[in-house]
A and B are shown apart, each in its own frame.
Chain A
């Protein structure tokens, strides 16, 4: 049994990257991701991690450098947040299309404006369709575990796609938690050295990142789509293996007190732990409510979600991002479309909460459940609800 250590979650993520023996890191410090890369840069400077740390002048360069180091065959890591992720945007597609298994932590933060350094999911939702594998974590232990697992998933020969671990900025990245580290030997056995499928080599010249004529472009997209969907099986295998090693099991859609639940809340990231408290209290009060936590965001776990809502009458999707002028939150619109073929299907109501760092205490979830029940009776009367907005 590994010992439990009290540590700031950002530093735990850096430690996971160290244990994973990342060989190249290119990053630009941006709030609230800063502590992760600061710590990594000192680990490299102190020779505690044998890696190239590339200081760059922007996130556009950070991700471009990561593509370069990944092409050269190095196990590559970066981290970013918010505006930095937005600045990476055009290159994010290239990284996945070129099939480079880069691992990135996104410490989720609201996108401007107004300028905000606090947490919500608008940054990653703007980068929803970049073709990377994406997971959300709800606490420090999960952030640590999923960072290590991400390398193994991304680098598998049948996957070879970059992967993002989303963790909530500040409310998770900057808290000190007690978590269990896995020792280097165990990680080494779990995660063998990266053998690139192809690397830049002057003796065997190849062209990477060439253009695609109209006659071939859609075929590449199809291959990317199929590979990303099929990565699901590999993700499950890696999570199971980690579960056997550490006793910590992960699932694409996680259940909390869902047995016999007529009402289901659905959350991602840190909101999930808060929602658990609300579910506990509501259950004690006799409300048949349960919680679904969406861990795997890409590839979307279609079957697991359809199965998870089976038997529920009302599904309340909580989004931490607003799709302005659209059908509510990004999670809501995807969940609705996933459930569309189901019959019978639960009523699906969407609540937008916690934008730009607004605190979401358990009472809010209790209030949302009460409101949603009333609204579901009435219609519902709106496409979605912005919870707690004054006026």
Chain B
């Protein structure tokens, strides 16, 4: 997107809603729906990668050293990672304004 969505007039929108820019789904930051987000206690993490595998939003990113963290732009706060983590080192924290 060359400019924010709210700046497009009806004359400017693409015919048929076509998106010509590959990979532009990245621009849709769907993470602002969540009411909770995961937080890692990395000292307990065994770097098994289960959280990374189960996240339905691919919001979990692998860091150097094989640990994991979250990209909050895409995390929807479903809590699956926290539930499936084999060592229980992920906890869900309530979002604040």
Interface residue ranges, A against B (CB under 8 Å): 97-100, 160, 197-198, 205-210, 212-213, 215-216, 218-220, 222-223, 226
Interface membership of B65, Cβ < 8 A? no
| Chain A contacts for B8, CB-based, 8 A | 216, 219
Interface membership of B80, Cβ < 8 A? no
A215 to B24, CA, bound (A): 17
B22 in contact with A208 (CB, 8 Å): no
**Across the A-B interface, the 8 shortest Cβ-Cβ residue pairs:** A99-B16, A222-B10, A207-B19, A219-B10, A215-B5, A215-B6, A98-B16, A223-B10
A219 in contact with B9 (CB, 8 Å): yes
B18 in contact with A198 (CB, 8 Å): yes
Residues of B38-78 at the interface with A, using a CB-CB cut-off of 8 Å, are none
Chain A residue at minimum C-beta to C-beta distance from B22: A205
A207 to B4, CA, bound (A): 18
Other than the known A210-B18, A219-B13, A222-B10, what 18 A-B pairs have Cβ atoms closer than 8 Å? Answer: A97-B17, A99-B16, A197-B15, A198-B15, A198-B16, A206-B20, A207-B19, A207-B24, A207-B25, A208-B17, A210-B17, A215-B5, A216-B5, A216-B6, A216-B8, A223-B10, A223-B11, A223-B13
Interface residues on B, range: 10 to 19
Chain B residue at minimum C-beta to C-beta distance from A225: B10
B18 in contact with A97 (CB, 8 Å): no
A-B contact count (CB 8 A): 55
B18 to chain A, nearest CB (A): 5
| Chain B contacts for A219, CB-based, 8 A | 8-10, 12-13
A177 to B9, CA, bound (A): 50
A115 to B30, CA, bound (A): 46
SS class, residues of chain A in contact with chain B:
loop
A208 in contact with B10 (CB, 8 Å): no
- Centre residue among B11, B13, B22, B24 by max chain A CB count within 10 A: B13
| Chain B contacts for A222, CB-based, 8 A | 10
A212 in contact with B10 (CB, 8 Å): no
Chain B residue at minimum C-beta to C-beta distance from A99: B16
A213 in contact with B10 (CB, 8 Å): no
A99 to B12, CA, bound (A): 15
B23 to chain A, nearest CB (A): 9
| Cβ 8 A contact of B18, one of A207, A213, A218 | A207
| Chain A contacts for B12, CB-based, 8 A | 219
Knowing A215-B5, A216-B5, A223-B10 touch, does A160 contact B28 (C-beta < 8 A)?
no
B10 in contact with A226 (CB, 8 Å): yes
| Chain A contacts for B17, CB-based, 8 A | 97-98, 208-210, 212, 220
| Chain A contacts for B19, CB-based, 8 A | 206-208, 210
| Chain B contacts for A97, CB-based, 8 A | 16-17
Chain A residue at minimum C-beta to C-beta distance from B15: A99
| Chain A contacts for B9, CB-based, 8 A | 219
| Cβ 8 A contact of B15, one of A160, A212, A216, A218 | A160
A290 to chain B, nearest CB (A): 40
A353 to chain B, nearest CB (A): 39
Chain B residue at minimum C-beta to C-beta distance from A209: B17
- Centre residue among A197, A219, A226 by max chain B CB count within 10 A: A219
